[in-house]
Amino acid sequence: MKTKRAALLCVVLLAGAYAVAQSPAGEEEEGVRTRALWNTAFLNRRPPKPEPKSSAGGTAVASVPKPKPAPPAGEPKASAPARTLAEVGKLGSAFVGVTLWRMTRDLGSVPAVRFRGLVHEEDPEGTAEWTPQRVSLKSQFEQRDMVRLSVESAREGYLYIIDRDVYADGTMSAPTLIFPTLRLREGNNKVRPGVPYEIPEPTDKPPAFRMKKTRADQVAIRITMIVSPQPIREIRIGRSAQKLDPAKAAEWEAKWGQEVVQLEDPKLIGQAYSQAEARAAQEVDSLGSDDPLPTSLFRSAASEDQPMLVNLTLNMK
């Protein structure tokens, strides 16, 4: 009897060890599947592309595919697509997409307007040439690295970005509102699906922030993004960045920043800036279902009438 119990115990322990050993891969697979569902839900919020025009100027008529024959009697119908649609439908629209671009250029000596860890240098002539490339939010950044943020919301609203320095002991600086300002996008912080809002935008001079430590023991920059259905009453847009009341910022985070999940798509890292993204950022066109997705998606539990608040951390060497 004891032998049987010992054997059974060994089987249980081995099974448990196998499950533990397999869990990281299982979690990664589940993350990939979840991100795929999120991608579909996010793309569904983008506006449809306008119908193509015929050479004569009229609307082209798309060919209608022939209906597929019904399955033979008794054959089960495929339920996966319906199940997937149901899962996507439950996800709602509480998504904020973020892409971080590393910007490269021929660095020179230019004046800078400083606000905490991100520095928006001035390039009054607009002569610098820049090359954007997608990087992971988990990257380690050097001082003087130039970056740009691209934010796409699955809901209409108003975008606010708050910056704080993170120190080695875990403390942070006072919150600073770095967007909107009249220097960036002339204070326009209205967002809508299908339009990536780039901070700084391509027409800003320069179209990039510089990473900058404000203290020797600084280890990261924490960025808080809020997409609010209405303008936040307590914020008045000024020409430059402005300090915020720490208690008020903490109140917003407690109210709006709960139950947020982030998933990054590693396949998108390293990709170059596309023409579609450039046109959409300038509001010449909107991104459609075939255009690039944000590298990271944040899903919030916020209802339609609540602001969405997400946090990301840029680590510094």
- The residue extents of the domains of the chain are 92-316
SS3 state of residue 270 = coil
Average pLDDT over residues 133-149: 93
pLDDT of the residue at 171: 97
Sign of CA dihedral 41, 43, 45, 49: negative
Q: Which of 15-29, 147-161, 214-228 has the lowest mean pLDDT?
A: 15-29
Share of the chain above pLDDT 90, in %: 57
**Which residues share a beta bridge with 149?**
100, 199
Closest by alpha carbon to 187, among 205, 196, 200, 176? 200
Confidence of residue 266 (pLDDT cuts 50, 70, 90): very high
Q: Which of 105-114, 132-141, 162-171, 276-285 has the lowest mean pLDDT?
A: 105-114
Q: Specify whether the CB–CB gap between 157 and 227 falls below 8 A.
A: yes
pLDDT of the residue at 236: 94
Confidence of residue 121 (pLDDT cuts 50, 70, 90): low
Q: Is the pLDDT of residue 67 over 50?
A: no
Q: Specify whether the CB–CB gap between 37 and 84 falls below 8 A.
A: yes
- Tokens 């390039």 belong to 123
Cα separation, 43 vs 193, in Å, equals 9
pLDDT of the residue at 5: 52
Cα separation, 251 vs 185, in Å, equals 27
Q: Specify whether the CB–CB gap between 127 and 203 falls below 8 A.
A: no
Q: Tell which wins on pLDDT, 184 or 300.
A: 300
Q: Is the pLDDT of residue 257 over 50?
A: yes
Alpha helices, H only, the chain = 2-45, 80-91, 246-256, 275-281
User: DSSP class of residue 184?
Assistant: B
Average pLDDT over residues 171-191: 91
Closest by alpha carbon to 243, among 162, 171, 184? 162
Label residue 5 exposed, middle or buried (CB < 10 Å: 0-12, 13-18, 19+).
exposed
Confidence of residue 18 (pLDDT cuts 50, 70, 90): very low
Average pLDDT over residues 14-39: 71
Q: Tell which wins on pLDDT, 141 or 29.
A: 141
What is each CA distance from 271 to 32, 262, 265, 294, 296, in whole angstroms? 19, 20, 11, 11, 13
pLDDT of the residue at 23: 56
Cα separation, 193 vs 94, in Å, equals 11
pLDDT of the residue at 116: 41
Highest mean pLDDT among 51-60, 114-123, 229-238: 229-238
Q: Is the pLDDT of residue 60 over 70?
A: no
Q: Is the pLDDT of residue 107 over 50?
A: no
pLDDT of the residue at 274: 93
Q: Is the pLDDT of residue 111 over 60?
A: no
Cα separation, 260 vs 264, in Å, equals 13
Label residue 311 exposed, middle or buried (CB < 10 Å: 0-12, 13-18, 19+).
middle
Q: Specify whether the CB–CB gap between 45 and 95 falls below 8 A.
A: yes
